[in-house]
Structure 1
Amino acid sequence: MSSKVPIFTLSNGVRMPSVGLGTWQMTGDEGKTVIRNAILAGYRHIDTATLYQNEDQIGDALAELFAEGVVKRDDLFITTKAFCHEVAPDVIEEALRNSLKRLRLDYVDLYLAHIPAATRECGSHRTDVKVEDIWKGLEKLYSLGLTKSIGVSNFNESQIERIVKIQKVPIHVSQLELHLYLPQKAHREICKKHSIIITAYATLGSPGRMSVIGADGKPLFESTKNIPNELNDKNVKALAQKYNKTPVQILLRATVDMGIVVIPKTTNPERMKENINLFDFSISKAEVNLLEAHERSKPERLFWWPNVSEHPEDPFAAER
C-alpha cells in the first residue's frame, strides 16, 4: 500500500486505504488508462460498481499490472457494488460472481449494496425484499470468501439500525454522499456507535454530474445546477491559501482527518496526483471544526436516486 496514505482498519481487521479512486463515468479505453495511471501514481484503492459499466476495463488494467509485477493483488483494495436489480438475496451471488469475472479477480475487498431498494432487471420495484434480506444475502457472500468485507451504500440511519438488530456479520463500511454542505452528522454518529467506517462520495461536489444526460435528453442533475460548490467556500479558500494547497486538497484532507475514506474521481493524471498528495501538511483540529461549523440551513443533497422514489425502502423518502 502507498506508504503516505493513512490506512483505516475495518472492524474485522481488513485494512482500507483512506484515499481511493472513484471510477463513475469512466468507460471504454479511457477507463483502462486511468486505472493504470492511478496505480502508478500510488493509488491502492479502486472503487467501482456494476452501474459504472467499467469493471471489464479495470480487470484488464489490473491483469496487465499484475503480469508486469507493478503491484500484487494483496497490495490493492478493490470495491464494487450490486445495483438495485442485483441486491435481492436470490440474485446477489450471481451478480458478484459476474463482477469478479469482469474484474478478473477471485475476490473483492469490499462488496456493497449500492442502494437499499431492490428492483427487477426492468427497473420495476421489488417490494418483497427488505434491507434485512439484502444484508443476509451479503453475509452469505462474505461466508463464501467472495468478498473480504461487506457494507451498504446510500442506506439511511434507520435502515442501518434495522440491519444491526439482525446481523450475524457486522456492517463494515457505509458509503454515502458526504461533503461540506451535506455533512451527514447523524449518519456519522450511528456509524461511530457501530464501528462502521464511512466512505464519502461527491466530497468535491461532483462537478462531473452535470454531463449526465437522462432518458429524456436533458441533463439528469439539472435541478441541482445552482447548488453552490464547496470549492468556492471562503473558509476552504482561506485554508488553501494558508497551506499553499488547492481547495480540493483542503476538502479531501479535512474529510480524511474526520476518519472518513474519500474516493475522488478524476481522469486527469495531474489532478490524480494532487488528490492523493494530501499528507505533507496538516490541518489543525480547530480548522477542521471551522469547516464543519459551516452549517447550511438546508443540507444540499446532489444525488436523489429518482429510480427508487416511491419504493418502500426509498432511503430519502423523508426528504423528498
Structure 2
Amino acid sequence: MRLTSENAKIYVAGHRGMVGNAIWEHLSDAGYTNLVGRTSDELDLRDPHATRDFFAAEQPDFVVLAAARVGGILANDRYPADFIDDNLAIQQSVIRAAHNTGVDRLVFLGSTCIYPKHAPQPMPEDSLLTGPLEPTNQWYAVAKIAGHKLCEAFHRQHGDDMLTLMPTNLYGPGDDFDLETSHVLPALLRKAHAAKGTAPEGGDAPVTLWGSGTPKREFLYVEDLADAVRFVLEAPEEELRDAAPDGMLNVGVGEDLSINDLMALIQDVVGHEGPVEHDESKPDGTPRKLVDTSRMDALGWTAQTALRNGIEKTYDWYREQEALNVAR
C-alpha cells in the first residue's frame, strides 16, 4: 500500500547513519512528520525479541530498512564474520517484525555489490545470482542478497508489500572518512585534503591509490537516494510490480568513471596538485559496476545531482566537521 498521508508513521531503521539520516531529513522536508527512529544503543536490531517488542509497541505503517554494517574493501576483508552475521541478523529481525505487524510497505536498501563480479554492463536486476561474486565483499553481498530474497519470499507467500532498492556506490554528508573502514570516494577526499601542503620539500604530498586505478565506478549522491526512497514509498504498488515483478529496483545515475578519473576530479575540487601513486599490491575489486536503471527510468525517477556538485557538497561538509573537531 502506497504512502499517501503525511501523518503515516514511518520507521527509518538506521536513521543516524549517512543513508538513514538523509532519508529522515528528506521525508521531514517533504512534510512527513510522524517519523520514528531508535539509535543502536536504544534498540539492537540484531535482537529479534527486542525488535519484535519495538514493532508491537510502535505499530509503524511504513518501514525503511537502512540499518546495516557497512564498509570498504579493507573492512570487508578484515571482518567477514561481522559483515555477514550482523547484516543477516538485522534484516531477519526487521523484515519478520514488519510482516508480523502488517506494515503497509517496507523498503529494504541493498547494494549493487550483490551482482556477479563479471556481470553484464550495465548490470540489470535479473543478473543476480548468475555468476560468482567479488571475493573482497562477498560476505556483505551474500547478506544483502538474502535480505532481498526474504522480502521477495514474504511477498510471494503472504502478499507483503516489500521492495528492495539496490543503490550504486553512495557518498555525501555524513559519510565515513575513516581510512580503515571507508569507501573509495571519501577515502580519496580525505587523502587529498590531508596531502595539501605537507610535502617535505613544500607543496602537496602524493596520494596513493589502491590497485591500478582503472576499475570503473558509479557514484550516487545520498540525497538522491533519499529522494528515490520517498518516490518508491509513494508509488502505486501495481506500477512498482509492473516495473519490477521481483520487487527489486536499481538506483543509480547511469554513468561511471575510472578511479583514476575520480581522483583527478577530487584533486580539482580539493585543490591538490601533488602526484598520484598506485599501490598495485592492493586489490582492484570488481572491474566495473554500472547499474541498469531502466526500471526506475520507466517509473519516472532519475538522479539529479551531478558528481562534481555532490563532491563539492561532501567536501564542504567534511571541512566543517574537521573545523568542529579542532574547536573541541
Q: TM-score, normalised by structure 2?
A: 0.32
Compare the two structures and name the one with the higher helix fraction. 2
